[in-house]
Amino acid sequence: MIDEPDPAPNTPAGRGQRLARGLLATFFVGIALFTLRNFLPALLWGCVFAIASWPLYRRAEQRFGKGDLLPLLFTLGIALIFLVPLTVVGFKAAEEAQSVLHWIDDVRHNGIPMPDWLNRLPFGRNQAVNWWQTNLVNPQRLSKMLHSFDAGHGMAVTRQVGSQVARRATLFLFSIVTLFFLLKEGNDINHRLLVASHRTFGERGESLARQIISSVHGTVAGLVLVGLGEGALMGVAYAVGGAPQPLLFAMLTAVAAMVPFLALPTIFFAALLIMMKGSMIAAIIVMALGSVVIFVADHFVRPFLIGGSTQMPFLWVLLGILGGAETWGLLGLFLGPAIMAAVHLLWRIWSSDSPREHLP
């Protein structure tokens, strides 16, 4: 073993050694990221779950003490939050699939009767009635339309959907495993991250880390909790208005409402089904109520919850959510605002008159 002291940091040899260590570390980090590239979404989801649940976990840890049981219970609880609604939606979708098959068989032989509300339309009544009678009342025309769907293509789509479900189930499992270890070793990980951040970036690095964490907390509240609230309100409206499967539509609305303005198509589709049952007034009320709920949530509640925790303007929040969703998919709903929060903090620091102004 060579026992030779390291060169002084300020000498050319010392600077060269630091550069070599930095390049070596960058190389191994790059190789590690490349090796784990297919599992990075699962790891990032585990980090999002851990950051979102960390304040509650810390309070539970202070009350009940440390150990392996508490992170296990938290992990199982978070897993059930996702698995229970998905299971309910899956059973409801299977029931609806059977109903749809029976409905297709019925309309193929008998056609779709024209609803009474078509004759009460204030404008375009004759055109709508003629189109319905020509295309939907006639069983032969409907049968041709239904036979136009390629059964082989349908089987291919089914296999592709099954493959995607299996892949996402595997990623979800790895996310849950990641969450368990992050909670279990969370205190040590936090300490080491703060030391590494302060050693590498100084005080600004810790400020950026806190800004990103605050953004994740605000995004969880602004997207997930607000989406669940919208789904609950619209579920009551669906049930009162007479929509088919109001629980299923409420869950779909809650999931869609996690993205700004995305719940509108689900609400309008539910209102259309209510209208096809002959309840035009109920359909109009559901559409109007849904529009008001989405407007209030997306223009007032979300900006307050997400932007308030990071002092970001609404435009930055909206760009982070939509841009992140387009670039990273569902994970981008949380990564996008976190990235924009870091950029916004850097902008405030660089454009500040005081070098310490705007530090969280």
Looking at the predicted structure, is the pLDDT value of residue 239 above 70?
yes
The mean pLDDT of 143-159, rounded to a whole number, is 55
Q: What does the DSSP assignment read for 125-168?
A: HHHHHHHHIIIII-HHHHHHHHHTS-HHHHHHHHHHHHHHHHHH
DSSP secondary structure of 55-100: HHHHHHHHHH--SSHHHHHHHHHHHHHHHHHHHHHHHHHHHHHHHH
Of 85, 26, 36, residue with least CA distance to 255: 85
Phi then psi for residue 354, to 5 deg, are -105, 135
Write out the H or E segment, with its range, that includes residue 26. Answer: helix 12-35
Compute the average pLDDT of residues 113-122: 69
Residue 172 has pLDDT above 60, yes or no: yes
Rounded Cα distance between 323 and 334, Å, is 11
* Integer Cα distance of 56 and 75 in angstroms: 12
Q: Which range has the top average pLDDT, 79-83, 126-130, 221-225? A: 79-83
| Residue 65 pLDDT level (bands cut at 50, 70, 90) | confident
Residue 325 has pLDDT above 60, yes or no: yes
Q: What is the mean pLDDT of residues 192-212?
A: 75
pLDDT on residue 348: 79
Q: How confident is the model at residue 177 (pLDDT cuts 50, 70, 90)?
A: very high
Q: What's the one-letter identity of residue 173?
A: L
pLDDT band at 163 (very low <50, low <70, confident <90, very high): confident
CA-CA distance, 297 to 264, in Å (whole number)? 12
pLDDT bin (cut points 50, 70, 90) of residue 1 is very low
Please tell me the pTM assigned to this model: 0.68
Average pLDDT over residues 2-20: 65
Q: Is the pLDDT of residue 310 over 50?
A: yes
User: Minimum mean pLDDT among 3-12, 59-68, 164-173, 196-205: which range?
Assistant: 3-12
pLDDT beyond 70 at 353: no
Please name the residue ranges forming H helices in 36-68.
40-64
> pLDDT band at residue 277, thresholds of 50, 70 and 90?
confident
Nearest Cα residue to 263 out of 290, 223, 237, 296: 290
Determine the pLDDT at residue 101: 66
Which carries the bigger pLDDT value, residue 337 or residue 93?
337
Average pLDDT over residues 118-146: 68
- pLDDT surpassing 50 at residue 254: yes
Q: What separation in angstroms does the CA of 336 have from each of 147, 221, 306? A: 43, 15, 12
pLDDT bracket for residue 41 (50, 70, 90): confident
Residue 33 has pLDDT above 80, yes or no: yes
What percent of the chain has pLDDT above 70?
A: 75
Element (H, E) at 343: helix 332-350
Segment 192-216 mean pLDDT: 76
pLDDT of residue 84 exceeding 70? yes
Q: Answer yes or no: is pLDDT of 185 > 70.
A: yes
Query: Given a cut of 60, is residue 359 above it in pLDDT?
Result: no
Average pLDDT, the chain: 78
Contact 118, 125 (CB under 8 A): yes
pLDDT value at residue 151: 47
